[in-house]
Structure 1
Amino acid sequence: MRADATRNLNAVLRTGARLLAEDPTVSMATIATTAGVDRRTVYRRFATREALLAAVFQAKLDSAEQVLDAARLEEAPVAVALHRYVEGIVPVSREWPLDVRRMMRADPVANERRETQSRRLDAFLERATTEGLLRADLAEGWTRRVLDQLVDSVAHDLPRLDPPQAADLVVATFLDGVGRP
């Protein structure tokens, strides 16, 4: 793909993610104009809003996969892996603000991919519990919900925090809040 075509595609995907998160009914023409490309460019690549939405979700899943890999959840010390994960996933949440659960009913392949990523994070939290960093007496799934909410809050409610600061805040809050006393 030519450099300008790649740049246009990235602009459309990122702009589409942001605008569709704000208004699921936004027009393709509005996305094109805001992305700074011709409407025909968008329609040539994505025949429908659903096709664009699917591409946005795939881009978000790609980014999340890279973060999970880079965090080294299975082999790095838990606190280090947790910090790497949060520091990496905060920019992903900011760049791709759409909730992937919106796509799951329509795309079973994307759903399975998201579930695989979710299982990786769940296994990491189980490891953290087994190693004694997290409390084992909490309701099943609670630590995951707390972590997800902390990440979402810092990514969207505190956008001025850079990713390392956001990770510091989330990790300290998480480990002190559901960590073992």
Structure 2
Amino acid sequence: MGGESPPRRIRADAERSTARILEAAEAVFAEDPAASLERIADAAGLARVTVHRRFASRTALLDALAEQLSQRYLLGLAEARVETAPPLVALHRLTEIVFDLKLGHRFAVQLSAALTPAVVDGLDLLFARLRDAGAITAADPAWCRQVYLALLHEVYDLPAGSPTLTSAGAGDEVEAKVNLLVRTAVGALGGSSDTTGVALDR
């Protein structure tokens, strides 16, 4: 049994190094999307050979960032209970989670590869449930998803002092953005703002 300790320790060290590289890459790429692996190694405080050992190319590193965010999206879908919660409540909770992810992953959220088929299926299921519940009238979940994601980026980029954001209601900036996005998306997809307000007040 004693012979198993070194391999386990090596694996643990490798996992810590990988986590440091991904964290550094997220921060560095957010400032400079064209940054080199060498710069990321410096930011992570690791030898350059270590980064190249974990990720043979920028593409491999970008794929890892997308995969990491995809897993967090899936956790968010599960936490929002898109399959079982009242759909408007699930939409509101999911929007809170996604805004939180955007704050911590400003670069990775731009990677389309993070929207894996499993993530897309979860979003489409939520919009199908919203339609079935009568919260929206738009019939195509894929179209609903595209509208929601487009609005998400626009609302997220609103400056804090925007009149549009101020009119979204009380609460801090993030809460106001969440409420604005949910109400705007539901309205754009044929839903009632009155129904949305009732659901979100629960």
| TM-score (norm: length of structure 2) | 0.68
1:54 correspondence with 2:63: yes
CA distance in 2, matches of 1:12, 1:100: 17
1:83 corresponding residue in structure 2: 92
**Number of equivalent positions:** 169
CA distance in 1, matches of 2:141, 2:87: 19
CA distance in 1, matches of 2:150, 2:55: 32
1:124 correspondence with 2:126: yes
8 Å CA contact 2:138–2:190 kept in 1: the answer is: no
Q: Residue type of the partner of 1:170?
A: L
Superposition deviation, residue 63 in structure 1: 0.7
1:135 corresponding residue in structure 2: 137
1:92 corresponding residue in structure 2: 101
Superposition pairs of residues 1-181 of structure 1, within 5 angstroms = 2=12, 6=16, 8-20=17-29, 23-96=32-105, 97-98=107-108, 99-101=110-112, 103=113, 114-136=116-138, 141-155=142-156, 157-158=157-158, 163-181=174-192
Q: 1:164 to 1:15 in 2, by over 3 A?
A: farther
Which structure would you say has the larger Rg? 2
Q: Residue type of the partner of 2:189?
A: V
Stretches of structure 2 that go unaligned for 5 or more consecutive residues are 1-10, 161-171, 193-202
Tell me the SS of whatever aligns to 2:136.
coil
Superposition deviation, residue 179 in structure 1: 4.1
Tell me the SS of whatever aligns to 1:180.
coil
CA distance in 1, matches of 2:35, 2:61: 12
| TM-score (norm: length of structure 1) | 0.75
8 Å CA contact 1:133–1:180 kept in 2: the answer is: yes
Q: 1:51 to 1:120 in 2, by over 3 A?
A: same
CA distance in 2, matches of 1:151, 1:13: 25
Superposition deviation, residue 68 in structure 1: 0.8
CA distance in 2, matches of 1:70, 1:36: 34
